[in-house]
Amino acid sequence: MLGTLVIETPGLPVQGAVAELFRAIDLLGVFGNAVLGGIVARRRKLDPIGFVALAILSGLGGGVIRDVLLQHGPPAALVDDAYIATAVLGAIAAFFLPFANRLWAITFPVIDALALGCWASTGAFKTSSIGLGWLPAVLLGTVTAVGGGALRDLTVQRTPQIFGGNTLYATCAVAASAVMTVFWQFELAPVGLVVATLVGSGFCLLARWRGWQLWQGLSWEYSFERRGRMPRVSVRVRGERHQPDST
């Protein structure tokens, strides 16, 4: 989540139209991912409290994890009431409205990709701005982008989708965070926020369009044959693609 740090960092102001644009993307991403949490709640037949809980975890979890780890002031979601309100609105929308339609299928991937790029770049920005190195910046930028979805999935006792079952997602967050840290090193943070967001979002949309996935771990298969007095062992290594999550 964006928070106030991106707008008011001393010496690196991000003001005016850029700040408003990022805030709009930020809240739009919170809403979209909150709705996604609500959709999971509907599939699990949860009550309204379950809808709200999963919506808040999905929409705000990554930013809260980042801010707690940084220990640099209260989480942005608790400072700005608009974040929790937007997440709750997403839960209400998911509770009352059908989202299994063509319009949602077209718009959500775009909203989700923009949010991923925005959250990853601002997460890396916030980490760098308090003096941490590039590796923590990439890590916490990625956590900001994917942490909420992981918390949502763990809450309903399923393997987080970022670990498999979908197209490249966490990888896109890593790329956006890395781009942001490079621009930070050259003292071009405001430009980096825009470029990193576009890189992460574009990479995510391209991965969806092309169906890019990471490979699973190698599958080792052993077979034993006895020929004469000496046994023969043969090993076959096979790589597999992730299978879509049935839920």
pLDDT digits (tens, 9 = 90+) for 79-113: 989 999 999 999 999 999 888 778 888 888 998 99
- Residue 12 clears pLDDT 60, i.e. is over it: no
Instruction: Provide the whole-model pTM.
Output: 0.81
User: What's the pLDDT score for residue 195?
Assistant: 94
Upper half-sphere CA count for residue 135 (Cβ side, 13 Å):
0
Calpha distance 50→36 (Å, rounded) = 13
What are the start-end ranges of the H helices in the chain?
5-8, 17-43, 48-70, 76-79, 81-96, 102-129, 134-155, 170-185, 189-210
pLDDT(8) > 50: no
Please, are residues 173 and 118 in contact by the beta-carbon 8 Å criterion? no
Q: What is the pLDDT of residue 20?
A: 78
